[in-house]
Structure 1
Amino acid sequence: MANGVPGCRLRRSNASEVCVAVLHKVLFYPVGNGDTSQVVLDNGRRILFDFCHRPQSEKDDTPEIDLKKRLKSELADAKRDYFDVVAFTHADADHIMGSTEFFELQHAAKYQGDGRIKIKELWVPAAMLLEEADNQQQQDEFVLWRQEARHRLLEGRDILVFSQPEALMKWLRPKLKERGESENARDHLFIDAGRLVPGFTLGADGAEVFCHSPFIEHCDEGDIIRNSAALVFNVRMRADGADFDYLEVGDAKWNDLEDIVRTTKAHKNEDRLAWDIFNIPHHCSYLSLSDEKGDKETEPKPLVKELLLMGKKDAYIVSCSKPVPDIKQAYDEIQPPHIQARHCYERYKDEVGARQFLVTMEEPNANKPEPLIFEINGKGMVWKPAAIVGAAAIITSKPSRAGR
């Protein structure tokens, strides 16, 4: 509220102040079986989750979007050459593909300049700093991001690392000693599960980010499993006193989700499991619901079912994946997306009164999909199908009041 007017902020223009409506956006990009989404806040700050640019997308006859071209165009329109935050949920190729050619890396001059996009703050799971690589992998993208994350952590700036496992501290402490610094000099750059991420507030940004995962044991107990040690966030956006929750999950499996639900409930943070937008895990894989696919429909594990039932009325479920057709041969597919999983999500969509199940590579059609764009303001959440962008919004979710 500004000057007593609900749902607006003040903008100075020609020495006078005018009231403009609060507007946040969440975008999902059609990159095949891969993840890239972006939160654009009303104040202009941008959080990019993952980056999957497929080389074939630069040709005109492929359905995947040319992600590099699209993001650079959006940034140019905003008169920017940077993201406020880039968060890599984990280091699988379908979450980092093409990223080391697109972003500026601070650890080596050869990855700087030449139109590269800057990252003001890098968010990574601790696993990305710990993964081992052999001599043949030194130029692989996950290794370059490991080097970048380690460099930023040692320099003590422009990074947050999620979870503080002892395995990582055993690497970090001797490095800090060599620099003449105390062994806890970087503690402020580590964020544990169950905490709000510093740097974003509902008051200043109209948004806050809550970390669900990873847990310390994901890196300190045996081999690192990327999907289990990945970032999982609740992004809460507020407009005119109404809260909207975006659940960003990455590639978690059903047992990881059950751990998250169990832990979140134990700490009485159940509201952080609620969702208006649910970026479902692992490209609509049944393994994010259960260890059994099912013949026609996957039956979710009990705590995964609880998470699905946390959907709000008029919410949306988004599958960052190839099309999920309901045809005979789809029921035998080994790789995701799985039609049995889609049937499960659609069942619980209907049960909670959510509005739609959307697939990034299906909208507005499978031949030439466009980004899914959700707009959030004091009147509600609006999905604008590509065919009507710029026209009156017709698919709107009603807001829930903050604190309810």
Structure 2
Amino acid sequence: MATITFYPLGNADCCLIKTDSNKKILFDFANKKNPADKDDKRIDLLTAVRKDIGWPNIKEIDILAITHGDDDHVCGICDAFHLESRSDCQSDDHIKFKELWIPANLLTEVGAKDHTRVIRQEARHRFKNGSGIRVFSRPDALDQWCRDNEIDLESRKHLITDAGRLAPGWNLDKEGIEFFVHSPFAHRQDDGLIDRNGNCLVMQAVIRSGYRDTRFLITADSISENWQEIVRITRAHGNDDRLAWDLLKIPHHCSYLSMSDEIGERETKPTPEFKWLLEQGNDRGTLVSTSKPIPAESESLPPHVETFRTYKKAAEKINGRIYVTMEHPTKANPNRLRFDVTGAGLVPPQNTSAAIIPAVVSTNAPRNG
């Protein structure tokens, strides 16, 4: 059975996808728990992920996808994973991964520090060796970086996938999953500025179980400007179905900046493009905020209650559910948020703190294929 698992990490991300064919894909890894703080309710991510992949019998995953290089998406990488570029990260206690997925700007970024530098160096090592990596987008900055490092870019073209394409090697019939790439765009990465959120990985994963396809929008920390471009380009190419969703990971820890340039007084008013995106949810769709608990009043940092109210209304319109990782199953004792992906669609956890919208009879058939 296929599953999608989110972890309670505060304002940080990690999501594990397991397919019917037993493929394991991990998007981001941010082990932010402070073991010295007994009141820290965040999960011990390394212990949890090990258990969920079948450790110690299974010590390897298929894909480690890093949506962007911010610390809340890469913290603890060296402690957790076998890195070809570092001998101190190659013990039997480190999880191996067959392929690393990154946005191109992570490879070319200058001045990266701490955990970001660790994963950047691993990406550079694999790209120079010509294996074990997939880079998304081909900006001019990548051409220049290859020239500076005496790498023939043409010999690495098979490692690069642009927006608007499927990630190669992943087939619905064989692996039970495919990934349609929405971001990053090459032209957004050549202004010399480090814009990780605007150039993060955004994908639609389609997961097949039985004869049914479940659509999962993986959104990272994408910002409003990026969504305007994604929606315009996707619709211009007649690919509306590539922004349909049964499960939407709310971007950027429920920050208003993914939805609009303004937070709003009571509710965040989305841009026309983001409003359209929210309307693409299938009947009884699910939204997940990978964030701290939603505050009762307005706060400067995410999650923003004004924005959450807008998402909640979007859930109501499709008879759906909305979850917050640090509130599931309770605020006092958050734990994994795991969905089964079955021939009947997305099955929510039984012990739930979701804002459940009363179901109504719908004549709309689920999207398939």
TM over 0.5: yes
> 1:386: how far off?
4.0
Q: Any conservation in 2 of the 1:373–1:383 contact (CA below 8 Å)?
A: yes
SS at match of 1:307: helix
CA 1:57–1:241: 2 relative to 1, 3 Å: farther
CA distance in 2, matches of 1:295, 1:401: 36
* SS of equivalent residue, structure 1 residue 34: coil
Distance (whole Å) between structure 2 residues aligned to residue 246 and residue 176 of structure 1: 39
Partner of 2:356: none
Matched residue type, 1:309: E
Partner of 1:372: 337
Q: Which residue of 2 aligns with 1:17?
A: none
SS in 2 for 1:197: coil
Correspondence 1:31 to 2:9: yes
Correspondence 1:1-400 to 2 at 5 A? 23-57=1-35, 60-77=38-55, 79-133=57-111, 137=113, 140-173=114-147, 175-176=149-150, 182-325=152-295, 327=296, 330-331=297-298, 333-351=299-317, 353-386=318-351, 400=366
Q: Please report how far the alpha carbon of residue 310 of structure 1 lies from its aligned counterpart in structure 2 after TM superposition.
A: 0.4
- Whose Rg is larger? 1
Indicate if the aligned counterparts of 1:316 and 1:354 stay in contact, CA closer than 8 A: no
Question: What one-letter code is carried by the residue in structure 2 that aligns with 1:349?
Answer: A
Partners of 2:33 and 2:6 in 1: CA distance: 19
Q: CA deviation at 1:173?
A: 3.6
**Is contact 1:58-1:66 (8 Å) kept?**
no
Query: Cα offset for 1:145?
Result: 1.2
- TM-score, normalised on structure 2? 0.93
Name the CA distance, whole Å, in 1 between partners of 2:121 and 2:55: 31
8 A Cα contact 1:31 1:64, kept in partner: yes
Q: Secondary structure at the match of 1:142?
A: helix
One-letter amino acid of the counterpart of residue 340, structure 1: E
Call closer, same or farther: CA 1:57–1:38 in 2, change over 3 Å: farther
Which structure 1 segments of 5+ residues have no match?
1-22, 389-393
| C-alpha distance in 2 between matches for 1:97 and 1:298 | 30
Aligned-residue Cα RMSD (Å) equals 2.0
CA–CA distance in structure 2, aligned partners of residues 387 and 220 of structure 1: 44
Equivalent residue letter for 1:153? F
The CA deviation string for residues 9-53 of structure 1, in whole angstroms up to 9 with x for no partner, is xxxxxxxxxxxxxx2111110000101111100111111000110
Over 3 Å counting, the alpha-carbon distance change for 1:380 and 1:58 in structure 2 is farther
Q: Which amino acid aligns with 1:298?
A: T
What's the secondary structure of 2:126's corresponding residue? helix
Q: CA deviation at 1:222?
A: 3.3
Q: 1:132 is matched by which residue type in structure 2?
A: V
How many Å apart are 1:75 and its aligned residue? 2.6
Secondary structure of 1:146's partner?
A: helix
Q: Is the 8 A contact 2:263 2:307 kept in 1?
A: yes
**What letter matches 1:378 in structure 2?**
G
Q: CA deviation at 1:210?
A: 0.6
- Looking at structure 2, the residues matched to 401 and 286 of structure 1 have their Cα atoms a distance apart, in angstroms, of 29
Give yes or no for contact 1:176–1:183 (8 Å, CA) kept in 2: no
Task: State which drifts further: 70-79 or 306-315.
Answer: 70-79
Q: 3-state DSSP class of the match of 1:186?
A: helix
Structure 2: where are the runs of 5+ without partners?
A: 354-358
- Structure 2 letter corresponding to 1:27: T
Could you tell me how far apart the structure 2 residues matched to 1:380 and 1:36 are? 22
Deviation at 1:401, TM superposition (A): 4.8
SS of the residue 1:228 aligns to? helix
Query: Cα offset for 1:287?
Result: 1.0
C-alpha separation in 1, matches of 2:110 and 2:104: 13
Q: Which amino acid in structure 2 is aligned with residue 160 of structure 1? A: R
When residues 80 and 402 of structure 1 are mapped into structure 2, their CA distance, relative to the original with a 3 A threshold, is same
C-alpha change, 1:401 and 1:284, in structure 2 (3 Å) is: closer
Q: Which residue of 2 aligns with 1:6?
A: none
SS in 1 for 2:54: helix
Partners of 1:285 and 1:338 within 8 A in 2: yes
Measure the CA separation in 2 of the matches of 1:77 and 1:44. Answer: 14
Which consecutive segments of 4 or more residues in structure 1 shift more than 3 A?
Answer: 57-61, 173-177, 385-388
Q: What is the distance in 2 between the residues matched to 1:402 and 1:312?
A: 11
Give the whole-Å Cα distance in 2 for the aligned partners of 1:263 and 1:270. Answer: 10
Structure 1 residue 55: Cα displacement: 3.8
**Cα 1:125/1:201, change in 2 over 3 Å:** same
Cα distance in 1 for residues equivalent to 2:35 and 2:330:
16
SS of structure 1 residue aligned to 2:121: helix
The answer to whether the 8 A contact 1:373-1:385 is kept is no
Indicate the percent of aligned positions where both proteins have the same amino acid.
40
